[in-house]
Structure 1
Amino acid sequence: MKCPNCSNMENKVIDSRTNREGDMTRRRRECLNCGERFTTYERIETTPLLLVKKDGRREEFDRRKIMSGIQKACQKRPVSIEQMEDIVDKVEKYFQESGEKEVSAVTVGEKVVKELYNLDGVAYVRFASVYRDFKDANEFLSELRNFVKNREDH
């Protein structure tokens, strides 16, 4: 692993931790040249999952894109980075375990919407409004009313 400070390839692992699901290892490393400490993550490599976009294009599943959308929806909300990462992990794991090699972007988006619904109402409505491409304020209000009604029923 190359040191991000001096680019030296010689380093030692100081600490290793596996996440709860056991599918990722976090390692703290120290460069043997400059002493810089840095973190690396190891993930099990799986068969790439392809997203089928609305226009028929196919692209590889990208955790960063999903995380970016979730972060925008959760901006200035009491939602931690760990909670956001958990959503991305759940979504990715769900589709990896499905055994499908291709999945529609719509299905992935709906899974994210469902996870946000259970986490934070404002983030849910924000994400849904962009993802579902609300055309006007009435669609936004309608979604908000449904959300509030469903929360009151439970």
Structure 2
Amino acid sequence: MRCPFCAHDDSQVKDSRPTEDNTAIRRRRQCESCGARFTTFERIQLREIVVVKRGDAREPFDRAKLEQSVALACRKRGIAQERLDQLVSGIQRQIETLGETETSAKAIGEMVMEGLRLLDSVAYIRFASVYRDFSEARDFEEFAGTVRDVGQG
């Protein structure tokens, strides 16, 4: 594993353990060149998934991008990181178990919407405002009027 600090190609694993939700292995590593320590995560990937965007653009599925979107919607909501990781892992499992090599960005967005709806109503509305491209305050009002208070919010 390449060191993120000095780019040396070799590092030594100092500790390995499963994450709390058992969906990944957390490894503490130490660079053999500069001695810096860093953490990596190893996850199961059933197949390569391609996301079909609007306009038929295609790009590889990126879990980090999904994590970033969920984290942004949940920012300052007091939701435990473990719950966010479980949500993202659940969505990734759904995508992989569809059995398809391609999935639409719209389908992923709907999965995120459903997960956030059950987790936190404010995060749900935040995500919806970007995903559904709200352009006026009235859009927020209309959507928020349809949301029941669930999850933490």
- Range class of TM-score, shorter chain: 0.7 to 0.9
TM-score of the aligned structures, taking structure 1 as reference length: 0.83
Q: How big is each residue's C-alpha offset from its partner over 1:102-144, in whole Å with a ceiling of 9 and x where there is no partner?
A: 1111110010011111111111000011101123222211211
Structure-2 change in CA distance of 1:100 and 1:31 (3 Å): same
Equivalent position of 1:2 in the other structure: 2
Equivalent position of 1:51 in the other structure: 51
Q: How big is each residue's C-alpha offset from its partner over 1:21-71, in whole Å with a ceiling of 9 and x where there is no partner?
A: 654211112334443322122223442111111222222111122222222
Question: Contact 2:21 / 2:86 at 8 angstroms: preserved in 1?
Answer: no
Query: Which consecutive segments of 4 or more residues in structure 1 shift more than 6 A?
Result: none
What runs of 5+ residues in structure 1 fail to find an aligned partner?
none
Equivalent position of 1:135 in the other structure: 135
Equivalent position of 2:84 in the other structure: 84
The structure with the largest alpha-carbon Rg is 1
Bigger shift: residues 63-72 or 122-131: 63-72
Query: SS state of the match for residue 75, structure 1?
Result: coil
Structure-2 change in CA distance of 1:141 and 1:120 (3 Å): same
Structure-2 change in CA distance of 1:65 and 1:89 (3 Å): same
Equivalent position of 2:103 in the other structure: 103
Distance 1:86 1:55 in 2: 31
Structure-2 change in CA distance of 1:137 and 1:41 (3 Å): same
Aligned length: 150
Equivalent position of 2:118 in the other structure: 118
Structure-2 change in CA distance of 1:3 and 1:103 (3 Å): closer
CA RMSD of aligned residues (A): 2.1
Distance 2:9 2:68 in 1: 31
Structure-2 change in CA distance of 1:3 and 1:65 (3 Å): closer
Distance 1:10 1:50 in 2: 31
Query: SS state of the match for residue 147, structure 1?
Result: coil
**Cα shift at 1:77:** 1.1
